[in-house]
A and B are shown apart, each in its own frame.
Chain A
């Protein structure tokens, strides 16, 4: 498996505490229909064509190259910022990233990942040695739907969440809201029930955005249209979470 990077985004204000540099890894274990980073689904390089020319999504770095690139903003990570690994599924690149994580950990750099947690349990165990903060997606929880819609094993997901929740690490749930998918009535009930067990874990909810549309076009793919969420449904969901005692906040990505 190749370990490619599609983007190193500096000065991210939304990907964890403080000012952060976010690294987007290419390749994911699932395929959410609403995905806003379609260039990060496959593990191999992909050609794209945009108005300003052709190019390739995905660049391979040595650990040292990646380190040098990320470390440029180290000065801005005090007091609480750091590096966030996203994707794709960052944890599926654990075998590659391990050495980099170690290097940052040695320097006391705060590390975060954004993960869907549809990954082998050993990778989660491994990540726990280095990562300080986990953003964990909550998406589709019905086993059958999860398999067909996302291509994921919901039991594995639930076990991984459980492992993380007992690790003592900081966690934050992120729930993408789309009425046709995550907020579809049955799933919404499952999600509410699921997060109720973890009331100590804060939740961020957000509406999907269409900023990935141009990336779909550049890959000659079609972005789904039924990804919207009415203000009413969004607010209703927010209130539900609040009522059952979850710490919930709204973010705009």
Chain B
């Protein structure tokens, strides 16, 4: 990362070099002196739109002369006027600025305060565009004349060429980051860009090779500001490019750009941007092989997403057919209609262990005479917990966001801000964690309490509350046994479905103030953090130890077992907010068995898994990298739903990956 230029850091060697060269790059300190007063006054007193205009006037423009495209973020002047729930974890509609010019977007007769603000945002962008053009004129940049033309066109006409489209996507993306929208996605770029590619190639304006070079640069540019864009953990940027898709009649949709993105991510070996590949039964062998070869290199991408399960689930939920078919995802996995939806898909996390803990602490345990009674009691506590979750959602107030509103379909037509229900879709999403542990606890209780009668519930309560004090052998035994969750035993599947159905029962009537519904899924980034203050559980998990990662089971007999489990679950109604299987795979395994691995994936898709991601690493490499980080600066792993450099992770994340890899290789537990 050290070769990536970060504006605002005066220490940065490249900045010093530029300064010595006498280039036009201005120093951050000068800016502060000149503009700080005006900037912060407007910031504090004006509207968000005024703040934006001020930002556009004042933020530093930086033209990297080595790139053929323009892209910069001046985080010293990032707009961060937070009033209420911040919008993020979203993908704007890049298409709006590809098919329109800035001037076309403006209201000719702004009648409402929103329209006035909207026009101010466009004015602000026009101002920034003008400043960029000026800066380009005074630079020695590559493709100077072209760059000027692209930005001039941006003001007055739709994008015509492929390269122009790339520049506009970068511009929109830069605006989103500059205005503090976290986890900004990139959408289905292979589909969005293809018409430009096709036309340019047909007319001889460009060719396949040139396009690939441009995409390479595009990806490298987006990898810049890696740490600025990272949210909770390094690498958590939400920069997902969605590839592939399904036609109405079920045929697979892909094009040459799909392949180029896969090739380039494999070649560049950068954790960011990340890829999500939409697949269906008809995804051709060659795409599977490209994708598996890419992920086999350990780059962490792509994650696979099953159209055959997700599209019907979205439609049944009320998403229009065509929108459902063009779904993308939020930062990690949660299906999202890019550019049309401001559904925040990760508003809070449901912790399935919380009601279990509450049950043990509050319930009169002796009255629970059968396993069914125990399960029903757990479900009652789950309902109470979900009431609390719903209260959190109801109390959320959203940030007035005219910047986002420019890039969300529907806001302009309805003359409504995204935060007032301007977007087409405004649902609420939650993620969930620890269902894997709860299933384990329930089935252990069934076996040891109600069937074999080895322990009473009171004794289990003692184990939980004392962190297995004096009962270490029990803890060890529970921890080392083969786990239920993620196996294809009918009992495990049925119990998991039951808890999922109960979750739906408690959430399906929820409506937010714009009529949006509530959805949930079985993947959450919080498997470590949400477990920190949680008591031990009757699955051998000790106080504060991490929960199960998504849908995973390193003690399962085989990957087929977990694929069978995941495909037997029901993701209908509102249960589709990201359900990802998480594999640990050794690099050799994919390499040595490519054809068979393709078969495995194809069958998994056909049977109906939801999504799947893989960590392609060996325990040995991870252990060595933890001990000797300098030797492994580029080792990439998959955490939560994103790829990141292993060395950037906190130790507890490193340890968890090592432990899972060891188990997967049969070396531990």
Contacts and interface: CB of A to CB of B under 8 A. Distances in A.
Given A53-B477, A72-B564, A78-B603, A10 B596 contact: no
Interface in A47-77: 52-53, 72-73, 75-76
A59 to B, nearest CB: 15
A104 B607 CA distance: 21
Contact of A72 (B488, B589, B596): B488
Nearest to A17: B596
A10 B558 contact: yes
Contacts of B589: 13
Interface string A1-24: 000000011110100001100000
B606 A75 contact: yes
A76 B603 contact: yes
A10 B560 contact: yes
Contacts of A78: 599, 603
Interface in A151-200: none
A88 interface: no
A249 to B, nearest CB: 12
Contacts of A27: none
B603 A75 contact: yes
A13 B606 contact: no
Interface in B67-120: none
B477 A10 contact: no
Given A72-B488, A72-B564, A18 B557 contact: no
A87 interface: no
Contacts of B599: 18-19, 76, 78-79, 81
A73 B487 CA distance: 12
Contact of A11 (B476, B477, B480, B560): B560
Contact of A18 (B596, B606, B607): B596
Contacts of B560: 10-11, 19, 72-73, 76
Contacts of A10: 557-558, 560-561
A140 B600 CA distance: 38
Main secondary structure of the interface of B (DSSP, over half): helix
Contacts of B557: 8-11
Interface in B458-485: 476-477, 480
Interface residues of A, number: 16
Nearest to A79: B599
Contacts of A13: 589, 592-593, 596
Interface residues of B, number: 19
A52 B603 contact: no
A52 B669 CA distance: 9
Nearest to B599: A19
A42 to B, nearest CB: 24
B477 A75 contact: no
B600 A75 contact: no
B559 interface: yes
Of listed A52, A53, A76, residue having the most chain B CB within 10 A:
A76
Contacts of B480: 52
B559 A11 contact: yes
Contacts of A18: 596, 599
B606 A76 contact: no
Nearest to B564: A72
A213 B559 CA distance: 25
A73 B559 CA distance: 10
Contacts of B606: 75
A76 B557 CA distance: 15
Contacts of B476: 52
Contact of A19 (B477, B600, B607): B600
Interface string B531-545: 000000000000000
Contacts of A72: 488, 560-561, 564
Nearest to B589: A13
A165 to B, nearest CB: 28
Contacts of A76: 560, 599-600, 603
A79 B596 CA distance: 10
A11 B607 contact: no
Given A11-B600, A19-B599, 11 more contacts: A10-B557, A10-B558, A10-B561, A13-B596, A18-B596, A18-B599, A52-B476, A52-B480, A75-B603, A76-B599, A76-B603
18 contacts: A9-B558, A10-B557, A10-B560, A10-B561, A11-B559, A11-B600, A13-B589, A19-B596, A19-B600, A52-B476, A52-B480, A72-B488, A73-B560, A73-B564, A75-B564, A75-B606, A78-B599, A79-B599
Interface of B: 476-477, 480, 488, 557-561, 564, 589, 592-593, 596, 599-600, 603, 606-607
Query: Sorted from nearest, which 9 A-B pairs have the closest CB atoms?
Result: A11-B558, A10-B558, A13-B593, A11-B560, A73-B560, A76-B603, A10-B557, A75-B603, A52-B480
